[in-house]
Amino acid sequence: MDLQQAAERIEFLRKELDRHNYNYYILNTPEIDDFTFDQLMAELIGLEKAFPRFYHSASPSQRIGSDINQEFQQVAHKYQMLSLSNTYSEEEVQEFDQRVRKLTDEDFEYVCELKFDGSSISLTYENGYLVRAVTRGDGQKGDDVTANIKTIKTIPLQLKGDYPPEFEIRGEILLPFSVFDQLNREREEIGEQPFANVRNAASGTLKLQNSSVVASRKLDAYLYYVLGNNLPDDGHLELLQHAASWGFKISEHTRKCRNLQEIFDFLHEWNIKRKDLPVATDGVVIKINSTRLQQELGYTAKSPRWAIAYKFKAEQECTTLISVSYQVGRTGAITPVANLEPVLLSGTVVKRATLHNADVIQNLDLHLGDVVFVEKGGEIIPKIIRVDLASRHPLNERVSFITHCPECNTPLVRQEGESAWYCPNETGCPPQLKGKLEHFIGRKSMNIDGLGSETIDLLFQNKLINDVADLYDLKGDDLISLDRMGEKSAARILDSLELSRNVPFERVLFALGIRYVGETVAKKLARELKSIDRIANAALEELTGIEEIGQKIAESIIIWFNNDQNKLLIERLKKQGLKFEIVSEQKLGATEKLKGLSIIISGTFKKFSRDEIKTFIELNGGKNATSLSSKTNYLVAGDNIGPSKLGKAIKLKISVISEDELLELTN
């Protein structure tokens, strides 16, 4: 492909990908399936890599994020980012209306819009390109998070239509509830503190140093405020409609209101309907529509006189505390849970509420039989916010945190400065052992196909496994002896265990389930220190010298590797052939088994990510092809491969192989 052809193809691919992104994320009417989209994207990335002179900051390929760490630059806001004054009652809204009417004689309209509960952002566009994205910060200056913002598919990198040459647009970055639930499940699984609410999760994500992790979190954005000179309209709502035509995602639930009654109708309607939205809202913002009148009314020191936020009341109910139970997590952390008299709250029956830790119980001064108020606010899991002291019976017994593990009776410990109590019996406490096994076999860890938590439970109960190294000693007969386990399933598990010996070191490290060593930390450690021996022997300073590894994580790593049982476990796993170092490029490349072969990968894979497979091909001397042709030697087919691609490969007589067969080629 010559330069001219590459330029044309890149241009074509960028336009197509932008169009499909817009159709999918903004209009919700996708024209092509994910797989075809990924193929187009892979082709674009390949071409941009081969022809770096065509780099463009607004290319859709920039949305994938990168592993490069970024220190955020502080940037001064051109227009201050003020907040809104809050009201909690309709009377206060009425007072706001009266205040405004005292300041102007002219007739005007309001606009009511949803108040999104996320993290606010200011985007600057110049000549149709996103040039900067800055967080609110202290209102005067904020962090430049452009690289992270580019990963959000609903934020256009390049505008369409008739946009002003220079303007700012503000909005809210949101983490949809569905992503939040999943994210918190994953965090809890790996012993990380779950995010308390979607707002924290959204702002925490925006501040991540690694934009490829941000990309994986699937943030969304609604824009609600256009600022600049020579804007195409005086009306705020009309400006938002213009912004929609330039490619921005604007809430469709914004409405013009002419009087208080219409405003109240909007408040009542959305107090109910908001519960069905996929993202969090915490109120309604009422704004004067005319931007000219907005300017005339101006600002107080803190907020505009032309707008006000009406906050929804978090739903509360009162019920009785029956008992407190204690759950033991994989890392031994004890979580107290309140068992309540069932009560209806926001449309669901609530029977349990989280109490988080011992401090929460103490601060509430909780007694059994107490009448308590439960609330479901931004948080998904209800919590107890208050105790009705007046109705407490004098004989109610104070809730005192347990001193021994409810599962294995070991005395609990608490580290200084931490709120959680732990059961220290890591190698003997059943839920910890089972939790560790489940974590080890998980998709993001060793990805042992065919083994689920039920089988783990059976193996554990039958004393066939106690720790993760025992998995590799399992024989076919051990598995077949289990209830409902056929020969085929047993063989699948054994194959899968065999294959897991190829799982890269960083995932093995994550799979060990060391407290606070999540996916990102494991990756960092593996890449910096390269082998388990160096990690095991690293001094505190060496560990804390690595980016994103603080004192707490470093201490936890040291404690883990000082434990004799853990040392033994590593030795046993080493003997089983698991990867405990980053395999150097030369070592892998030495086979040159794939030399001269043009290989294309397609679909999603079980053992490795697409990037890992591509690297594997290159390291073994092969070439990653970007499109199928008669010159392609192999098509490595994963799940969900498109039928047309498969058909083409067959027609061209290209060998279609699996991920495992690819690995075998290098043996």
The helix (H) or strand (E) run that includes residue 265 is helix 260-273
Binding mask 72-101 for ligand IVH (x = CB under 6 A): ----------xxx-----------------
Site for ligand IVH in 197-236 (CB under 6 A): 224-225
**Cβ-based nearer residue to ligand IVH, 82 or 381:** 82
Q: Closest approach of Cβ 198 to ligand IVH, in Å? A: 13
Instruction: Please say which residue, 113 or 238, places its beta carbon nearer to ligand IVH.
Output: 113
Closest CA to 26 of 18, 34, 35, 16: 18
Q: Which is nearer to ligand IVH, 332 or 377 (CB)?
A: 377
Which amino acid belongs to residue 442? Answer: G
Binding mask 249-288 for ligand IVH (x = CB under 6 A): ------------------------------------x---
**Residue from the set 304, 382, 442, 603 that interacts with ligand IVH by CB under 6 A:** 304
Q: In terms of DSSP bridges, do strands 634-637 and 655-657 run parallel, antiparallel, or are they unpaired?
A: parallel
Rounded to an integer, what distance in angstroms lies between the CA atom of residue 614 and that of residue 618? 6
* Residues ≥6 apart with Cβ < 8 Å to 533: 580, 581
Interface map 32-71 toward ligand IVH (x if CB under 6 A): ----------------------------------------
Give least dist CB 89 to ligand IVH, A.
Answer: 17
Residue 500: closest CA among 418, 408, 578: 578
Q: How far apart are CA 560 and CA 634, in angstroms?
A: 44
Cα 652 from chain centroid (whole Å): 40
Q: Give min distance, CB of 96 to ligand IVH, in A.
A: 14
Q: Which is nearer to ligand IVH, 89 or 362 (CB)?
A: 89
- The question of whether 475 is a catalytic residue gets the answer no
Q: Which of residues 453-472 bind ligand IVH (CB under 6 A)?
A: none
Q: How far is the CB of 114 from ligand IVH (least distance, A)?
A: 6
Residues 155-184 that bind ligand IVH (CB under 6 A): 172
* Dist. CA 184–CA 190, nearest whole Å: 10
- Answer for the pair 95, 259: CB distance below 8 angstroms, yes or no: no
Residue 90: CB minimum distance to ligand IVH, A: 19
CB 571, min distance to ligand IVH, A: 53
The binding track of 106-145 with respect to ligand IVH, each residue x by CB under 6 A or -, is -------x-xx---x-------------------------
Residue 560 lies near ligand IVH (rule: CB under 6 A):
no
Give the Cα separation of 115 and 281 in Å (integer). Answer: 5
The angle that helices 198-206 and 177-189 make with each other, rounded to 10 degrees, is: 80
Q: How far is the CB of 222 from ligand IVH (least distance, A)?
A: 7
Rounded to whole angstroms, how far apart are CA atoms 483 and 334?
32
- Nearest residue to ligand IVH by CB is 120
- From the list 115, 249, 287, 383, the catalytic residue is 115
Member of 47, 100, 157, 309 binding ligand IVH (CB under 6 A) = 309
Q: How many CB atoms lie within 10 A of CB 555?
A: 16
Rounded CA gap, 168 and 79, in Å?
9
The Cα 609–Cα 122 span in angstroms is 34
Degrees to nearest 5, angle at CA 613 with 610 and 615: 110
CB of 61 or CB of 154, closer to ligand IVH: 154
CB of 118 to ligand IVH, least distance (A): 7
State the Cα–Cα distance between residues 302 and 296, nearest whole angstrom. 16
Q: In the range 485-524, which residues lie near ligand IVH by CB under 6 A?
A: none
CB contact set of 175 (below 8 Å; sequence gap of 6+): 118, 183, 198, 201, 202, 205, 217, 218, 219, 220, 279
Concatenated DSSP letters for 553-587? HHHHHHHHHH-HHHHHHHHHHHHTT---BPPPHHH
CA 100-102-108 angle, 5° bins: 50
3-state secondary structure of 76: strand
Q: What's the token pair of residue 558? A: 């040291």
What H or E segment, with its residue span, contains residue 35?
Answer: helix 34-50
Binding track over 419-458 against ligand IVH, x by CB under 6 A: ----------------------------------------
SS3 425: coil
Residue 164 Cβ, how far from ligand IVH at the closest point, in Å? 19
Binding positions for ligand IVH, rule: CB under 6 A? 82-84, 113, 115-116, 120, 172, 224-225, 285, 304, 309
- Where in the sequence numbering do the catalytic residues fall? 115
